[in-house]
Amino acid sequence: MDTVVIGLGNPFLADDRAGIVVVEDLERLGLPAHFEILHTVGFELLDKVLDYKRAIIVDACMLGKNVGEILEVSVKDIFTSSSLINSHAMHIGSTLKLGDELYPERMPEEIRIFLIEVENIKEFSQEFTPEVLKAVEEVKRRIKELLVL
């Protein structure tokens, strides 16, 4: 398989688990990709994307957008948009940018990052905010479409 799909987040915190749920649900469908769950962003993320042609990353964010809004960004977008600088995504961007510097021949040719604007990241819960639940379903649909092309 030449694609890895990575979900980031905390599996115990309401909306913060959005990336994890997307990846777990897609993996159960038997789609043609490798699926990974990460609870932190750092070198673990870099290890998971190396040697794949394409990486798709899903994470929750709090950027002041409307709850449930989906942003599809690239590593380049993270560094050129001031609205993404203070997000969790900055760590994603920094890690992937470092990978480009250290392992340019091993990094994916294509990296897509799906960010879901969330509201509740402090409450221990297995329930999403309704708008986040809708966004999770939409991100699953979009990624499934990318994987079956």
What CATH number does residue 107 fall under?
A: 3.40.50.1450
| pLDDT for 81 | 64
Beta strands at 54-61 and 34-38: parallel, antiparallel or unpaired: unpaired
Count: domains in the chain: 1
| pLDDT for 104 | 94
pLDDT in tens, 36-75: 999 987 789 999 999 999 999 999 999 999 999 999 998 8
Name the helix (H) or strand (E) containing 43.
helix 43-49
Between helix 130-147 and helix 18-28 the angle, nearest 10°, is: 40
Is pTM, for the whole model, over 0.75? yes
* Structural domain harbouring 92: 3-147
The stretches in the chain having pLDDT less than 70 are: 79-90
Q: 73: which strand partners?
A: 113
Alpha carbon separation from 101 to 5, 70, 89, 105 (Å, rounded):
22, 29, 18, 10
Contacts of residue 4, Cβ cutoff 8 Å, sequence gap at least 6: 33, 34, 35, 36, 48, 49, 52, 54, 55, 56, 108
Distance CA 141, CA 101 (A): 33
| pLDDT for 103 | 94
Alpha carbon dihedral 61, 99, 73, 120, in 10-degree steps, equals -10
